[in-house]
Structure 1
Amino acid sequence: MVRERRASGLTALARIGFSDLGAADAAIAELAELVAVERETLLADAVRAADPDEALGGLLRIARRAPEHAAGVLSDARGRLVAWRLLGASRGLGDFYLRRPASFAAVPALGDRLPSAEELRRELLDAVGAGDGFASDADETAWVALRVAYREQLARIAAYDLLSRDPVSAVKDVAAALADAAGAALEASLAVARARVVRGVPGAGLFPRAEVEQTLLSVIGMGKAGARELNYVSDVDVIFVGGVAGGAGIEESRALEIAHRLAVQTMRGISETEVEPPLWEVDPNLRPEGKQGALVRSLASHLAYYDRWAHTWEFQALLKARPLAGDAALGEAYVSGTQPKVWESAGRENFVDSVQRMRERVTDNIPAVDVPFQLKLGPGGIRDVEFTVQLIQLVHGVSDASIRVRGTLDAIDALVAEGYIGRQDAAAFARDYRVLRLLEHRLQLAGLSRTHLMPRDEDGVRVLARASGLADTASGLVEQWEAVKREVRDIHVRLFYRPLLSAVAALPEEQRSLTADEAHARLAATGFRDPGGALRHIRALTTGLSRKATIQRHLMPVMLRWFADGVDPDQGLLSYRRISERLGESPWFLRMLRDSSGAAEGLTKLLSGSRYIGDLMEWIPESVAWLDSVEQQRPRTGAVLQAEARAIQDRHGDLEEAMAAVRALRRREMLRTAMGAVLGAITIEELGSALTTITEVTIQATLRAVRREVVPPEDDSLDFAIIGMGRFGGAELGFGSDADVLYVYRPEQVEPSRAHELASRIVAEVRRVSEDMRLPLDLDAELRPEGRSGPLVRSLDAYAEYYRRWSLSWEAQALLRARGIAGSSKLIADFMALADEIRYPAALDLAATREIKRIKARVENERMPQRIDRTRHLKLGPGGLSDVEWLVQLLQLEHGRSDAALRTTSTLDGLEAARAAGLVADGDAQLLAESWRLAARLRSANTLASGKTSDLLPTERRALDGIGRILEYPAHSATEVEEDWLRTARRARRVFDRLFYGEA
């Protein structure tokens, strides 16, 4: 029978929600005995605890330490209810009551209502004995009394929150009470600070009471504290303003010195470690000049700073500023003086970047593993709601004072009242925000610690579900949270972008249509530099009753957001309009953008991030279809391209027609490769190989078409070949690279003068028909013998005679990258045998070595453009492509005859061979390879972003950011891109100088 009763009791505990049934059974028995309350009575309200095990453990620990206080609470029906709810949701409060069991006695009176701001202020000031602005005590006991009193009031707020029938609706009032409690704590701590500086407590200074009374100090609340939407445990951002009471005889400099001491002591009272733990961090770093600036400034000094030196983000930070503690009149004067500047700042040129940086500043250091659990900063989180609402306020608040409110929920109400957002969207957004904040509150209340991460284990999520009242199970809560995140992201689009359509297309909307000026301002706020032009493009795309216009209206809001996230939204939208017009009524185009999971976003990324791609896509609009398949974004193989090129030759007997088809093939494949590079479908090594293959196939097809046109059947025995040189020979082309070549022929049975004539005509025609105004292909023959002074084409015998009799060291060096590209395979083999004799000499004499080093130095000085920063030249600058290539080539000249692995046209393969042979140390080889790869990537990314070829790393921040985006840096990484290159190149140059010139 006893066993049956015990089993029945354990089953009842399981139904309540206890996990460790045996321990819970023993603990409840001990607790019942300690407080003299029946077991069943004690357990009646346990089912309402978020974590019954935690609550029971906390109650038992308190009862063991102070049975009389525990008995007083648990013998009271209201006391039991509040105790189970408080300790089941907050082990932090359980620990507090264990430290301060006398405070536990007040639990039965908690939870019926929230304390007012005045009550909170009075309770905390009374705790430190402050009736006239000075605390009665100046030692650490005053701080302890303050913290105990604050936590008692925190428990009062938490009890109301946890007992609320609708905790979602209660979020706004609870957050306001928490902000009021923070203000009261600062007020009380300031009273203690005044007592400390008057009594000369060590570290506080010593000032006459009369001077302290004449000193004004106002504590301005920023962020959530200023907006009265604070969390349970959050940094409280503040700004300190000092001054002198009217008519006082104390000088301002003296008052500011005292105010500084008061501010320091006020923060210590809240945050410094004492017997009673700190409350939260007081953060004054939003002040002018941040950590480097004065902690306390006068009002005039603050206003002068904001007028002359402040960054735009600093004005946005002032949006929620509110006097929190200290002198109220001085605080109101500060707010009155700064608020107009907040709304003027929205018209600044760098408004968008600064707001985005302010938004992203707090997310930069979030580990990637935490992002899926981020309640605040992750996609669809609290920050998304706040940023959206704040940005709409800043855009339209310039001319509409009615929406200049601090709180997020109050702002949503104001935006609805003035017609900036629809009621349905606003209601959903506000509820989602409350749900997210409720979860945040419960997470922080649990341990009285600052956190925004959802639990990663099922038990933790289950406790959170019970604590919030949002779901009965862990899976139910996760499902609801995921739904909220999706809706927040969707509403962001609807609130900010969709109203633009009503402004330009006269679409029926439940909400008020934006005026042209408002739409203009909204586009400008998201980053469009030509809002008028953007509006015209939107109008052209969405106006009308056709199915195409209807689908565009559905697509445009989200695409506008993606364009705005890009580097050049204006260029992206313009290119999108042109592509849409080129495709006309093509049914697949808009259907794919609407239905494909990533096509529309990929298209906006390409068009707003790469002018090179945008220009080509306008001519090849059908390429948009490739966005629906990653495989179609990868380069096609050389065999596939060769087959297509030969089919062109079979199809087109006319030279001009054949070359038009070849140029189209090249443009298409260059575009495909560019898209793959920007969307991350190919690596830098694959990029160089793909671009080389495309160029090879193009030249081969061109040569076949030209030879058929130029060489008559009777002279068909003429051998002709094209040799790749430089990066083309090394299969290391980038976007914008020239194709360095040599032209060689062999008469065979053709009369020599006739052979030379035909070879010259072939070269002339190849150069002519390969020209492409849309996508230039520069066949550069400057690496031929005698350079620009030498003939464009020579016979194999002429090359042999020249190289053996007159060639210079640089010409032997140039041959290191020679590789057959097109034409007679037998002639190519013979030319490569000749090249091997020259480029891999039995020995490289000292004079030749000196000559190579001299030429390298001369190239750096003479070919470097004037009046540029040499460190930014990716090819010829220190640590650039040229440094690595010349070093590898010198080693090949010196050791290529004896080491077959060095006989490669690839720079990186040659560097690896040199490392394997012990000619370059492992660490040195790594630094050189990193610099070469980064220079190559930056060079190609620059061409893709700008549509222009340049060897210079740009200085303009937007251009650098565009390059960074293509290379998969985060947004706004211009400085990081620049610093990465300069650091990498600097290290590589040190290695180059040591190995090439022999410098220590």
Structure 2
Amino acid sequence: MDLAALSGLPSILQNAVQGYWERFKETATAHQLEQKFALFDQAIMEQLYQVWAVSDYVAQQNCCNPKLLFNLIESSRFASPISKKQLALSLAQRFEQISSEADLLRELRLFRHQEMVTIIWRDVTGQASLTETMYHLSALAGVCIDRAYRWLYQDLTQGLGVPTGKKDNKPQHMVVLGMGKLGAGELNLSSDIDLMFAYPTQGDTQGGRRSISNQEFFVRLGQRLIKALDTVTADGFVFRVDMRLRPYGQSGALALSFGAMEQYYEDQGRDWERYALIKARVVGGDPRQGRNLLERLKPFVYRRYLDFSAVDALRDMKQLIQRQVRRKGMEANIKLGPGGIREIEFIAQAFQLIHGGRDRALQQHALLKVLEVIEGEGYLPVQVVTELREAYQFLRRLEHFIQAQADQQSQTLPSSSIKQQRLALAMGYQHWDELNKQLTHHRQRVNYHFQQMVAEPHKPTSSQLSGQESWKTYWIGSVDQEEAHELFAIQGFQQPEEADRRLRALQNSQSMKQAQRTGKDRIDQFMPFMLSMVTEQESPDACLFNVLPFIESVLRRTAYLVLLIENPHALEQLLKLCVASPWIAETIAKYPMLLDELLDIGTLYSPPDKDELADELRQQLMRIPEEDIEQQMETLRYFKLAHVLQVAASEVAETLPLMKVSDYLTWIAEVVLDQVLHIAYQYLIAKHGLPEGHPGKKAAFTILGYGKVGGIELGYSSDLDLVFIYDAPPNSMTDGPKPIQSSMFYTRLGQRIIHILSTQTPSGQLYEVDMRLRPSGASGLLVSSLSAFEQYQLNQAWTWEHQALVRARLLAGSKRLAKDFAAIRAKVLGQPRELGKLRQEIVEMRQKMRDSLATKATQGGMADNAWEAEQSFDLKHDYGGIVDIEFVVQYGVLAWSHQHPELLTYTDNIRVLEKLEQTGLMTPEAAGLFREAYKAYRAAAHRLALQKHAGVVSGDTFHEYRRGVIAVWQQWLESTPLASE
């Protein structure tokens, strides 16, 4: 032994290592392995000293079986990681010699010793990261479980026959679920493995000496599997098995059918079992059926909405952890003690339970990956996640080295000086005090963050408490009608009788009567709390009447009420928005999951710009498998709903001006369309391949927007006027496994885009789509080639179709095709026109619209009393309204763009008006009036939409704007030709 190298170890460890070396030499010599000592070069010897100094277990294994160490060195096993596939192959080779269950137990244990020596060696010498070590351990467990299961299954079927489904008569396998650290792929060096056994359906075995039920077969199989893994023999054990997480715990059947498991969790599943199932993973048996089972159990674990109903359960768990920590002796336990591993796991899994139903990125097993999502999605500040991640890695490495010493399941810090020095050496510290100082730092940070999680419920002020007590007395029915009306009047309600009537109707509703006990308790807790906050609003009546539909909509999903109880500021925002906008109130009532957006006031009233919107949606969709179209559609719809809500909230809060409101609503549509096109395109090329392009060009497709989306003037409920254009050679084909004509490919692409946009899902539809502006309208092809579009516009289109083309622009798709379209648009709109005929056609079209859409008082012309308060003014369709402005602008573009091509630069009316002014075609006074009138009308229309009113105001409003617009209309379109003609 190199005494110089040995002297590099702390003195307290030198004697132990030297003693092991003497034993090792003696055993190796007895087995005639002296020639193998040539394998021990300086690097191996230094590693050997370090490993034996840290791990008695490895040293003892090497001393008892020197051949194992020599084989590992010769095969370079310490030098590189091993895959699960390689592990399975290695164990399979051992199993070739097995002829009895005793052989099975022996080979499993010898294999486990071989891999444990390898794992600890690589870990202690720093050749494996924490992630690699956890993977190797978890893969080892998985391989042992699955290979043992398969051998035992074959052995058992020889006598009892093959378990078979009663309905389908097909052979069945068991599913072995790994829970806890095994399920997460995070096993430690001496961990229990938590397992559950399940099988697909009831039935009986067939082909054996006697038939038994499937359940009895799989229970026997499970018992033998546990014995194979857990029993301590002369060769040790493989893994200690814990089955207590199964349904009904220790009193439950060892194996249950899928249906029985699903029924158990639906009827009796407790919150801690949701917590446990987060990490469930198939580790043995039938993987396909295992995935089926986990998919069936997923609704129990992850709610589709933001699940604040889990908060109470998490708070109870937190208190349980804290009580356990206070027990004597816990301070030295780095898993269960204060600031330990379990507190980090609790923090991560709290976010999984609350948000995992909606944010599928959180539906992961491994804690470090969950922390990545928590950081990336902003659930916790970057600094907090960094501290948790660093603490977790530190604590898990320390846990491994505690267990490496003697292959014992312990997370308790040692008290003996030699064991403390071993840990310090393994962790890279000179002395125990240095290690302990760093450990204390990590545990303090973890415990601090743990204490901040799932804070206690909001404590109301004394005045709020007093108000809540009054409303509680009212809600439980302890006041008569006269007293109730007096209470409402005192609290500021203008319509006390109506308020009381509506609340009584809610109490007597069928949904309320059918509410379960838990739901009823939540409602009784929420209503007094909510009513006390309603009275703080400027208009309690409007607030209550607008928020009641929301409450009615969630009576069977009272987790939403828990969210508001837990987050009073979110309830405050909800009530403010309900007062300000019945449209917002109705939207939230229809889609209660939008309450999530009320949790962060900073984002609620600060919608992101287009680039941020695009990046957010792209990131959300990246986490969804491409084949999961249902989830993609739900994600698109929630994205749109959430961001439209932010825009509406910003508008009622007056933090966004009108023009920005339309910009944001249009950006949302563009970002959504871009991803819808991508999803539809990827779906089709997977089936049919790519369409062939023109020589030197790729085939291309683009989505054009007309109307409000083309003019960047979308409203909250606007539909999308779309036209689809493609460019590919006639009769060309796609290059995929199922080739079709390119024209058919693009037709199907258009159909799929419309399907994704307009299909009704639980979150509604994305947008209503209007395709009537395509060439030849409703009778035309759904998708037009570029050349056909050009020919139609030049030779067949009506004047009104050219008016629509003024507002047309690219929304999504090929940039090259966008340039080609822009050239065609300029060519079509820039044609010289006979102005008298143009005016006549525009005026006739406008009159048709007035006759069918304007208010009766103005259909035959402006009545004398049209300006009076008792009359109505339709902001869009009446004389002097929005359409008159748009038609004048379109006339200007069609009349003079051949002389002033700059009129074609923009598609929105405001900027086209600026160009008309800059070219001298419209006077500054007229252009200014048009711009201000247009913005005023649209602002009024937006306000009315948010109040759920039609776009109609009283006739005594906007007189100046209306008269001005009518005067310009008459001058431009109904008078003699202008001088500039």
- TM-score after normalising by structure 1: 0.43
